[in-house]
Chain A
């Protein structure tokens, strides 16, 4: 199981930047499309989405990094192990 945790850690590390790239691509495409047809302004919506999800993706990358470094092989059972 620990090797699965480690392997998946790499998957999360790849998935996090991929998600940021996907969001940036979608934002660019949707904002351009809206501007071309003078549709309602969608820039603000996308700025909010990017501002909210980019730090979460960074957190997801760190989670993957910890997982790949076997940090989750043993979960703490007492508070002393955390402090």
Chain B
């Protein structure tokens, strides 16, 4: 085949594989991006943090089952081939994502709602567990020797671009619909799930045109495919020790760096720093967009200088700088640190608004907004909600300020609920983008070369199974649990003396895991590139 034809053939392989993988990542991430809304829709309205933690647990459940998907579909991929296996995972992923968008809320079907969502989320996890290993193997088995890092790095961009697509679709729908319509039971938050059906349909059509991996076809023709990939991967010490090395020396650290940079960062900026919904996602989009080319850069570089040092450097940089970066997030968004003056002409205190409880008309919520505008353009919105229990039904014609004289107030919320939403000024906004960008560059360092690294570790006949398991334990379990365990660790630091807890404590989990992984990688891994993956 001529050089030009070879290039265009590999470009089609990359394009077709990447589109499907990108869509699977998109499907997987919209759930996490919409966690706050999902927790309100699928759990009792008064569950509060417990509902959010339960939603994060369902989100995490999707990650936890990924290794099982790796086993099931990895085995299939080594037995019947890469192409048909990752077509199947695409169908399962698309179907379950679409179905999540059809599940009625807790208000309509009660506890059946979160149970159904959990089942569909598990299906999503299983499908993703089978997808990635197949796509990475398929591309690597097509790539010319000496360029494996470069070509597989395109597959690596899909995880981040899937997140980008998920964020973009959500922001677009939310901006065009407005908050209320978007958050309603059958509101716009369901559209990203429904859109998946269309995306998956297109991707299936593209993938149908692909042919089987040349290396797998060769093995099949020669009758050398594995009879029992699971036994050969994990039952034989010589291969199993490499699976363990891949997990503890590379993928577990890579997983926590990936999920801290792209998920924990966004969750931290929104829930701890209280940056407004759209702006917190917008800045992620910019950072992702600017850092994504680095995947290809580090993939290419890994072909020249080896995979090990690039991955380990990314891990080390993350370990050293995570706490300073997150401290800076807090400092930049803290109202106490602002030296700009308050712009009184734009500062607004709204009149009090009364909302009567739907189930109990003697219970009312008094809502008031305080918008503090600064001269640099930043606006901090405070929404204060007081809960009052009255002696009789609330009379809407009476003024809220004269309530104490007209109706007896039985109870009053001891501490009003205050929701803060900060829209940052231009300069702070770009500083936040820069801090996220740095973290995503770490992601590209650890993640760009990892597909080529894993492919080169294992023989063709059990490659799909062998590389999928450590990859999905590292990313699905160690990485996927970062938001959940991070939130949980912060919860543990809360006390009556310190009701907010140590908001940076959640970082000890990724820092700890990455540190152990760094030491193991440093001591046990080799930097040698395997020139021949045909064996």
Contact = CB atoms under 8 A, between A and B. Distances in A.
A10 interface: no
B328 to A, nearest CB: 30
Interface residues of A, number: 30
A69 to B, nearest CB: 10
B241 A79 contact: no
Contact of B238 (A4, A52, A56, A82): A82
A48 interface: yes
Contacts of B530: 77
A12 B249 CA distance: 12
B391 interface: no
Contacts of A66: 237, 241, 244
Interface residues of B, number: 36
A63 B242 CA distance: 9
B486 to A, nearest CB: 13
Contacts of B459: 79, 82-83
Given A52-B477, A67-B524, A76 B64 contact: no
B242 A79 contact: no
A63 to B, nearest CB: 4
Given A30-B492, A52-B64, A63-B244, 19 more contacts: A1-B523, A8-B520, A12-B520, A45-B57, A48-B64, A49-B485, A52-B481, A56-B473, A56-B477, A60-B248, A62-B244, A66-B237, A71-B237, A75-B526, A77-B528, A77-B530, A79-B458, A82-B239, A83-B459
Interface in B6-64: 49-50, 53, 57, 60-61, 64
B320 to A, nearest CB: 21
A81 B238 contact: yes
Interface of B: 49-50, 53, 57, 60-61, 64, 232, 237-239, 241-242, 244-245, 247-248, 458-460, 473, 477, 481, 485, 488, 492, 519-520, 523-526, 528, 530, 532, 535
A83 B244 contact: no
The 3 tightest CB contacts between A and B, nearest first, are A79-B459, A79-B535, A63-B244
